[in-house]
Structure formats: structure tokens, C-alpha cells
Amino acid sequence: MIPIHVGFIMDGNGRWAKSRGLPRSAGHRAGTENIRHIIRTSKDLGIKYLSFYAFSTENFKRPVEEVTFLMNLLIEFFNKELPELIEEGARIHILGDLSLFKPPVRFVLEKAIKSTADNDKIHVCLALGYGGRAEIVRAVNQIIAEGIKKVDEESFEDYLYTAGMPQVDFLIRTSGELRISNFLLYQLAYSELYFTPVYWPDFGKESYMEALEDFARRNRRFGGVEDE
Ligand code: FPP
């Protein structure tokens, strides 16, 4: 079985670079290229939703040169890849607080969102300026601001950045860390989790297929009883 929605915690760019005697920036560049490969492979496989943890709210605490490099990389990524993403029928979503970003970054992101709004072959979500707890608190505050007295799980989901999207079926974290790190806390409730020691830039098609085979072997019960 192929998952509908796959999440990625793309860890290990720095270690990948260090292991090759390269600067961290080279790791982020290689990691960004890998995003493209994963999108292509996923589309070919018929996976409909991808969510990438690209920049957490905590990542703003990194050295200013690294943050600036990542922001420029983001701009470069969309300048280079947007035409092809449009052609492929990809729809871009940003999960997170865009107001945390400088105008040139926001401009590129808003353009990507607008110019892909009618596409639905594959949905590509980039979590940027994102934190799972902050997302939930924001949702609660919006609900209060609208004067709504009661919500249920379904109506609550409309206030998350992922409104209208299916829950995450499969979460992949690279580079050996065994944590969720505040990613899509609500949406991961019943996700199958997959941890691999492979660094993100090395997580190519072969590693991805291996992960998907592992997913296919799992028996998802969603808290119920085992299938006959
Ligand atoms: C983890 O590697 C990666 C990130 C900080 C975010 C992932 C970013 C990319 C793949 C680049 C694309 C995103 C943007 C915003 C252009 P790490 O630096 O934590 O690696 P380490 O744990 O080995 O040091």
C-alpha cells in the first residue's frame, strides 16, 4: 500500500557536509536538490501529499550567516524549480508563519502559492517558520477570536495550516535522530514512523523505496482491532 501523505524531517545536512570535509552550506544545497528528487519520485508513485520540515521557528536561532544562506537557497529553489513544478501539476502550500520572513522570501513564497493554486496532481507542503505547538495555539486563538464556543476534531482541523488535507500516513526522519521535534503534532496522531541513519542528502530513491516497502508491510489499526 502506498501512503497518501508522507512527511519528512530532513535532518543531517550538516553532518553529511562535515563527513565530506565540506561547509554546512554544501549540505543544505545538496539537501535542497534532494527535495526535488523526492517530489519527482513521489509523483511517479502516485503519492498525493508531501510535507517537508524545511525551517522550524527554532531554526531562526542558528547563526545569522546560516539563516541567510537558507533563505537565499529557498529563493533560488523557487526561482529555478517553479516552472517545472507548475508543469508537473504540483500545488505548493506553506505551513507556518510567513510574517517571520523578510519581504523577498515572502514574495517568492506567495508567488509559488498563487501560481500553483489550481494544481492538484501532487501537493507539496513546505513547513517554514513552523512549530507544531504554535500551530495548535494559533488555531485555538483563531477559534476564540471568531467567538466559536465549541469545536470537534473535524472542525478544529479547519484551523490548522493543513486544513482540508488528509492526515500524515507516514513520517520519515533521516540521520538517526529519534524525535518528532515539534513537527505536525496534531496531524501525526496515527502516522507510521520511520527513522533511518541515512543523512538527508543521501536519502535517494533507493532509500525512499526501502522506506515505502517498510510502510507497506505495516498493519495500521488506528487504535482498533487487527484485520482478519
Ligand atoms: C537539517 O540539517 C536541515 C535543516 C535545518 C532544514 C532542512 C533544510 C533543507 C533540506 C534545505 C531546504 C530548506 C530551505 C529553507 C531552503 P542540519 O543542519 O540540522 O544537519 P545536522 O543535524 O547534521 O547539523
Greatest extent of the chain over all pairs of C-alpha atoms, in Å:
57
| Nearest-5° Cα angle at 38, 206 to 43 | 105
**Residue 123 included in any domain:** yes
Output the nine-digit C-alpha cell for 157. 482541523
Residues labelled catalytic: 11, 59
Q: What is the three-class DSSP state of 89?
A: coil
**Residue 225 included in any domain:** no
Mutate to test the pocket of ligand 1, among 8, 9, 11 (most ligand atoms within 8 A of CB): 11
| Full residue range of the structural domain in which residue 164 is found | 5-217
In angstroms, what is the span from residue 140 Cα to ligand 1's centroid?
A: 29
**Residue 187 included in any domain:** yes
Alpha-carbon Rg for the chain, nearest whole angstrom, is 18
Q: What is the pLDDT of residue 223?
A: 83
**Residue 226 included in any domain:** no
Contact of 56 with 181, CB cutoff 8 Å: yes
Those residues with Cβ within 8 angstroms of residue 201's Cβ, 6 or more apart along the chain or in another chain: 12, 13, 16, 27, 30, 31, 33, 34
**Residue 60 included in any domain:** yes
Q: What is the pLDDT of residue 61?
A: 97
Name every protein residue with a CB atom under 6 angstroms from any ligand 1 atom. Answer: 10-15, 28, 31-32, 54-55, 59, 70, 73-74, 77, 175, 200
Ligand 1, atom 1, lies closest to the CA of 11
Contact of 3 with 190, CB cutoff 8 Å: no
Q: Is residue 23 left, alpha or beta, with left meaning phi > 0 and alpha meaning psi from -120 to 50?
A: beta
User: Which residue shows C-alpha cell 512527511?
Assistant: 7
Closest CA to 93 of 103, 85, 101, 104: 85
**Residue 227 included in any domain:** no
> Count of domains in the chain?
1
Q: What is the pLDDT of residue 227?
A: 58
pTM confidence score: 0.96
Rounded mean pLDDT for each run of 10 residues along the chain, 228 residues in total: 97 98 98 98 98 96 97 98 97 97 98 98 98 98 98 98 98 98 98 98 98 93 73
**Residue 112 included in any domain:** yes
Those residues with Cβ within 8 angstroms of residue 77's Cβ, 6 or more apart along the chain or in another chain: 32, 35
CA 171 to chain CA centroid, Å, is 10
CB atoms within 10 A of CB 92: 22
**Residue 223 included in any domain:** no
Q: What is the CATH number of the domain that holds 74?
A: 3.40.1180.10
Q: What is the three-class DSSP state of 7?
A: strand
